[in-house]
Structure 1
Amino acid sequence: MDFRCPWCFALSVILIRLDLFLGGSTRHELKRDMACSELLPGQYKCSPPIIDKRTQQPKNCSLETLTARVECKPAPGIHCNGKLFTGHEVGFEKEVPCNFVSGYRFDSVLILSVFGGIFGLDRFYLGYPALACLKVATVGGFGLWYLWDIFFIATGTVVPANGSSFYYPYYDPPVTLLKNSNVTFHAS
């Protein structure tokens, strides 16, 4: 709208107030038959998962899908699944990601790599006994393999032999490997 003239601005304010007084236009009406699982973020709140103290992952983590289900409550006044919610009822369950953890600690393997990597202690710990024996026989691959392993363990490239993730507290930032693919953006 062009507000160069004062009466144009006043007219637009009057029209907006009249629209609100009459109940708003049809473009603002809510869809009444939507599923609660289709709500937008901010229209619901999910309870945090119950964390297993031994694995530091959600207790109901599925090893097949690597997800755990948490209960979500729609915000007060939200209408979904044919029901009006007050904010206290569970409306749906949402899946959150989790990891398969078998007890290998990232900090332990990094310390073993720095202080005992020349003797293959890091590879023994991670479950690679053949590589560890080779590393011992070559005194850390003449020092190069030792430095190479410190770098790759620190960046998360070397993982436990059983395919599990490293153990780290649930609310700490995880160690993730950054990958480059065809969809990676390269600024030039």
Structure 2
Amino acid sequence: MEYSTVISYYFERIQVENRVCPKDIECSELGRECLQCAFNCTCVYGSTLTVMCQPKEGVICKGAKKFPVEMRCLYCYQTEPWQHSCLGTDQCLAVSSPRATFTSNCTVQSDILCMGNRVFPKKLPCNWTSGYQWSTALLLSITLGGFGADRFYLGHWQEGIGKLFSFGGLGVWTIIDVILIAIRYIGPADGSLYI
């Protein structure tokens, strides 16, 4: 795992653990990150069990301080994809340096109770897109490429300005860009894939 990934993982973990929990609500309605539960780590994976929970130290709430909570026997990293959210795809540059996967920091939703760390690293596939169409980029390059429209469309606005003020590099830059976009060498500036 890369050093920056490890640092951001622990920073995100500290943020979640130090999140201010709401006050003056029933203890049983607190988000699961605000609770301390006595887990049975020898339970059968996927089975339903009841655990006794209480608010973490310093959390103020109303009602019973110890209460039962039903949960499925699984660790947080085993939750379903819709039960956790993962941070962006900034490490997934699909066009310039293709990778099969990237490591993202994921956080379990507040209403899900699971064992282990609520923030965890997860490998995700690098197949994301931002909605740019290759055919649109190629059409813009052929028709309005001399004015930098193709570069503006793909988010390369610095090159677009240069192309606009140099009249497409007097046509040379325009021809080169048509070829580079046609062979998909130039992609969206955010590193995503074409649709």
Q: Which has the larger radius of gyration?
A: 1
Give yes or no for TM over 0.5: no
TM superposition score normalised by structure 2: 0.37
Higher normalized contact order (CA 8 Å, seq sep 6+, divided by chain length): 2
TM superposition score normalised by structure 1: 0.38
